Amino acid sequence: MKRRTFLQQSSLAMMALATNRLYAAPGNKTRFRFQLWRHATLFVEVNKINILVDPMLSAKDAMNPIPNAANSLRIPMVDLPFNEVELKKKLATVNAILLTHVHADHWDVKARDLLNKEIPIICQPTDVDRLKQQGFKEIIPLSEHMEWKGIGITRTGGQHGTGEMGKRMGLVSGYVIAHKKQSLYIAGDTIWCEEVKRVIDRYQPDHIIVNGGGARFLQGDAITMTGTDVLEVSKATKANISVVHLETINHCLEKRKNFRELIHQNRLEKQVMIPDDGSWSRV
């Protein structure tokens, strides 16, 4: 073989090998991503397992508004990003439900009606009795940490408001979902507080999902994160941040537009995202 031909073939072989490695690499990694359905309802894919978080599945305007709020718009104020047929197909692929708490905007009657009563539900211990009364059979109360189907799930705390209003809102949870060296922190219904900071410091998540909207009643402070709270989260981490819990419930007064303007003003476009309903994000 001539030297020039040998070198050309060797070069082509090396390029082919490099190309194969390039395109093979993603297949060797676990697909770890999530889709925002609406409000706080998330579809998380990890290690070939599908986890549905805080399902609120009612059609637009099907529920009464949250009382004692600045307006009386019926909720949800928007539909899911797919029709009923597609919804049922998606629900058929769900392996488990993960509940931060059982307020109606995170666990509604439609979800209870549509979901198989045999599906595993991972929840905070205080919600077990209510879920049993609703007919669900496999309820997994999580106090701290569990390993489930190769996935680590750690329950975290938060503050669903301040003062008397915060007490009235009751106990809520967040979760850190981890697989191999990747982790997703779903903060749940909480404001920026010491509990959230401790979770970020301890687990160093790759991606954080926070419930924004600055939800509030006519009295008291916000009970979910405001734009100012999200800025505090961004200061505490280099992780990507997704803000959800927007434009669906009548007492969530801060809109996507407000968050996007704040992000632009603070040059946080590369870190903080405001996903649209139906969009996918990678961890």
pLDDT digits (tens, 9 = 90+) for 187-244: 999 999 999 999 999 999 999 999 999 999 999 999 999 999 999 999 999 999 999 9
**pLDDT surpasses 90 at 10:** no
pLDDT digits (tens, 9 = 90+) for 140-169: 999 999 999 999 999 999 999 888 888 888
Average pLDDT, the chain: 91
Q: How many beta carbons lie within 10 A of that of residue 152, not counting itself?
A: 15
Q: Where does the pLDDT of residue 116 fall: very low under 50, low under 70, confident under 90, or very high at 90 and above?
A: very high
The tokens for 202 are 């301890």
Q: Where does the pLDDT of residue 280 fall: very low under 50, low under 70, confident under 90, or very high at 90 and above?
A: very high
Residue 29 has a pLDDT of 60
Sheet containing strand 240-244, edge to edge, reads: 145-148, 151-156, 174-179, 182-186, 207-211, 240-244, 272-273
The identity of residue 259, as a single letter, is F
Residue 23 has a pLDDT of 30
Class assignment of domain 31-274? alpha beta
